Every structure is written in structure tokens, then in C-alpha cells.
């Protein structure tokens, strides 16, 4: 099931040839999404003039931001989505690690979570500027009110949602998440989901990740983006 708010803006602003370049022949959902986005893109240029045109062009140049719990697959889905749309992908956690010059576990250990959240907000603010891209964020980014305000103002936000069982099995593959180290992951994820889900629900688009391959989530997102007005 896909929920999308009417206010969400489908925002893939890239010359059409770049979008078409990655299109495989038998991919009807993608073809449909791109056709709709492309016609909207042309429509913006055709229908607007002067300052109103500038505003419309800016609207469709927003980045697409993926939010949701740890282990839901934001990076994998984001990479696939960006590839399909022919735009860049960036993982905000990777950008934080690069900016800080140390792993996230070490940032938490040495400076604490508040420091991490502040750096996360600044890095996301920087990533949002510049050409439109797909950005996968860490699970707590959208929970921070300042980061959320930035995202809501400047991006199309997509909540990837999943059952706790699925998250538990996916997070067990890595040991690099400070909030889970030395704790019962099921308990932590259950508690966090209870607090965070009402906030994630403020995203423009809501999709689900289940036992189906990640391509299914990507298709849900493309469908939802195409329906946005």
C-alpha cells in the first residue's frame, strides 16, 4: 500500500534524456512514473513565466529524502532509486563519517548523541543544497525537529516503514549502530518505533518494506512520486 500526501511534490528535475538513459524496456511502473514526471517538468516550463516560473522550477528541483528506522533498507533502496531516476545518491551517515573523520560509533562514544545530531543536521543541510539527489538519512535524523523542518521545507520526504521482525533480522547483519551495541535490538527497536513512528508519519510519502526484494519498495516510491501533484 502506498500513501502520499497531496502536498508532496514529485521532484525529479533532470533533463529527460538522463532519465531515459537508465530505463529498461520492460519496466512499466518506472516508464509511467517518468512519463508523468517528464510531462510535469515540461508543463512547468510551458505554463509559467517570470518569477512564477522561477518558483516552479525551484519546486521540482527538490531532493528526495528517505527516512525510517535502522535496518529498513534506506541506503539500498536509495541507491536503486537514484540509479533508476538518473540522479545522484548520497548516504548522510557516510557524509557525517567523512566530515568527522571517524566512525559513528566513535562520535557517539567520544562526544555523545547530541553532538552527533547537531553534526547530522548540518551535514543534511549541506547535502540538500545543490542539484537534486536521493539522500538516505540515519534513523534519528527526521526525529530532530530542526533537521525535520529543513527536510519538510526543502525536500520530498519518504518514510520507509517495516515490521519490527524485519528490522531485527536486518540490523543483526552489522554491529556499527551505537544505539544497539550491548542491548537487546528487538527491545530498542520496539521502543524507538513507538516513539518515532508518529513523527515519521509526517513525511510526504509512506511506503512499506517487507520480505519482497527492495525493488518492490523502489516501485512503490516511483508510483507514489508519479501520483504527487
> Which residues are near ligand S3P by CB under 6 A?
70, 74, 93, 104, 138-140, 177-179
Helix, coil or strand: residue 179 = coil
Is the Cβ of residue 139 or residue 185 nearer to ligand S3P in the bound state?
Answer: 139
Is the Cβ of residue 120 or residue 219 nearer to ligand S3P in the bound state?
Answer: 120
Residue nearest to ligand S3P according to CB distances in the complex: 138
The rounded distance, in Å, linking the Cα atoms of 221 and 4 is: 9
**Nearest-approach distance from CB 185 to ligand S3P, in angstroms:** 11
Is the Cβ of residue 74 or residue 84 nearer to ligand S3P in the bound state?
Answer: 74
Is the Cβ of residue 73 or residue 132 nearer to ligand S3P in the bound state?
Answer: 73
Is the Cβ of residue 70 or residue 127 nearer to ligand S3P in the bound state?
Answer: 70
CB contact at 8 A, 43 and 191: no
Is the Cβ of residue 74 or residue 133 nearer to ligand S3P in the bound state?
Answer: 74
Tell me the helices (H) and strands (E) count for the chain, helix number first.
11, 6
**Nearest-approach distance from CB 10 to ligand S3P, in angstroms:** 25
Please return the burial class of 57, using the count of CB atoms within 10 Å of its CB with bins 0-12, 13-18 and 19+: middle
**Nearest-approach distance from CB 174 to ligand S3P, in angstroms:** 8
**Nearest-approach distance from CB 93 to ligand S3P, in angstroms:** 5
**Nearest-approach distance from CB 13 to ligand S3P, in angstroms:** 26
How many residues are present in the chain?
229
In the chain, the DSSP E strands lie at 3-4, 63-67, 88-91, 133-136, 155-161, 205-208
**Nearest-approach distance from CB 108 to ligand S3P, in angstroms:** 7
The four Cα atoms 126, 72, 133, 8 give a dihedral, to 10 degrees, of -100
Helix, strand, coil abundance in the chain, percent, nearest 5: 60, 10, 30
Amino acid at each position: 500500500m502506498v500513501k502520499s500526501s497531496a502536498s508532496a511534490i514529485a521532484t525529479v528535475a533532470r533533463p529527460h534524456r538522463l532519465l531515459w538513459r537508465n530505463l529498461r524496456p520492460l519496466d512499466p511502473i518506472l516508464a509511467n512514473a517518468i512519463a508523468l514526471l517528464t510531462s510535469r517538468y515540461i508543463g512547468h516550463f510551458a505554463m509559467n513565466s517570470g518569477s512564477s516560473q522561477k518558483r516552479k522550477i525551484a519546486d521540482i528541483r527538490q531532493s528526495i529524502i528517505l527516512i525510517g528506522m535502522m535496518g529498513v533498507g534506506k541506503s539500498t533502496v536509495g541507491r536503486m532509486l537514484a540509479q533508476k531516476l538518473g540522479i545522484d545518491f548520497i548516504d548522510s551517515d557516510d557524509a557525517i563519517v567523512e566530515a568527522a573523520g571517524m566512525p559513528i560509533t566513535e562520535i557517539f562514544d567520544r562526544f555523545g548523541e547530541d553532538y552527533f545530531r547537531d553534526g547530522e543536521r548540518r551535514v543534511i543541510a549541506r547535502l540538500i543544497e545543490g542539484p537534486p539527489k536521493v539522500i538516505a538519512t540515519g534513523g534519528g535524523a527526521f526525529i530532530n525537529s530542526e533537521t525535520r523542518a529543513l527536510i519538510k521545507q526543502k525536500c520530498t520526504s519518504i518514510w520507509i516503514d517495516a515490521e519490527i521482525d524485519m528490522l531485527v533480522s536486518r540490523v543483526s547483519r552489522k554491529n556499527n549502530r551505537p544505539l544497539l551495541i550491548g542491548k537487546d535490538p528487538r527491545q530498542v527497536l520496539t521502543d524507538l518505533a513507538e516513539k518515532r513512528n508518529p513523527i515519521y508519519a509526517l513525511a510526504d510519502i509512506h511506503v512499506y518494506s517487507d520480505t519482497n526484494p527492495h525493488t518492490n519498495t523502489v516501485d512503490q516510491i516511483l508510483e507514489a512520486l508519479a501520483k504527487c501533484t
